[in-house]
Amino acid sequence: MPKTQYWQWYVEEFSPTEQHRHAIEEVYFSGTTAFQDVAVVRTSTFGKMLILDGDTQSSQGDERIYHESLVHPALAAVADRSEVLILGGGEGATLREVLRSPDVRRCTMVDIDGDVVSLSRRFLPEWSDGAFDDPRANVIIGDALKYLAEDQGTYGAIISDLTEPLPDSPSHMLFCESVFTAIKQRLQPDGVYVLQASTAGFHTMSLHAKMARSLRKHYKYVVSFYTHVPAFDNDWAFLACSDTENLQELSDERIRAYLASLNGERYFYDEQTHRRLFNLPLYLRRELAKPGDVFH
């Protein structure tokens, strides 16, 4: 007899020949919204988890690794943090990290799927930790594509926390030249655009490299960084784009000064972690240097 009997498994299929299986202890929600399949479950190893269209979005066990990496290097480099824009970010954890900075006067978050936001508020309140009720939070349920076309504001930081741009994902239309141009128009001249930018594993890094190549046309500095995210079972990459700041060279002094200004506890990011995030292995640097496909 096995010591523990699990009745259900969540199987994330990375490719037809690679899977990660998670034992599920509880299913809080499983269904289809107007935009995507959504599941909120509790797994034995990672705790609660949000899954969209069969892809793990974040887990209770390690979401801070992902969200602190996405937000803090960029905000540390930005001179004017008063207005921040998040594209996507349904769980509210990106919002939570942004609002740790008292310099932020308003953080606008635009997510297409109101059901993901309300399910996250209901079942994953640890992710947002009150951020949705912060008076500085301006949460808009709508398509980021439409928002970028109509908005007239400018932002010191724009943070893209969208699902992978796979053909059937609602984020697919946001990875193209016209949207990259629209984002640049909304960014202050010394601002930083940072995005979750797919995987950095040796076997899966081509989409990341394609994003980097596409954005180089728009910014003086397009810098990759990455970390392992255990629930994703892969190295996860990000891109920091700016005309004035090369985030790889951000000084310890500036990072420390920024961190000292933040409210609340951090789990992952500090000036040492920053160096590690921006220290890329040779195979990834080679891939990034290669010519290849771009988004049109």
The residue from 43, 57, 69, 108 that contacts ligand SAM (CB under 6 A) is: 57
Cβ distance 156 to 258 under 8 Å? no
Query: Toward ligand SAM, which CB reaches closer, 59 or 101?
Result: 59
CA 78 from chain centre, in angstroms, equals 18
Query: Toward ligand SAM, which CB reaches closer, 159 or 209?
Result: 159
- Which of the residues 161, 168, 252, 293 is marked catalytic? 161
Question: Is residue 162 at the binding interface for ligand SAM, with CB under 6 A as the rule?
Answer: yes
- State which residue has the least CB distance to ligand SAM: 90
CA 80 from chain centre, in angstroms, equals 21
Alpha-carbon torsion, ordered 235, 207, 128, 82, to 10 deg: 110
Question: Is residue 163 at the binding interface for ligand SAM, with CB under 6 A as the rule?
Answer: yes
The residue from 86, 109, 145, 277 that contacts ligand SAM (CB under 6 A) is: 145
Residues making up the chain, counted from first to last = 296
Cβ distance 71 to 95 under 8 Å? no
179-198 footprint of ligand SAM as x/- string (CB under 6 A): -----------------x--
Burial class (CB in 10 A: 0-12, 13-18, 19+), 279: exposed
* Site for ligand SAM, residues 76 to 105, rule: CB under 6 A: 87-91
Can you tell me whether residue 67 is helix, strand or coil? helix
Q: Among this protein's residues, is 293 annotated catalytic?
A: no
In whole angstroms, what is the distance from residue 56 CA to residue 162 CA?
Answer: 13
Residues that bind ligand SAM (CB under 6 A): 57-58, 66, 87-91, 110-113, 116, 143-145, 161-164, 170-171, 174, 196
Instruction: Provide the annotated active-site residues.
Output: 161
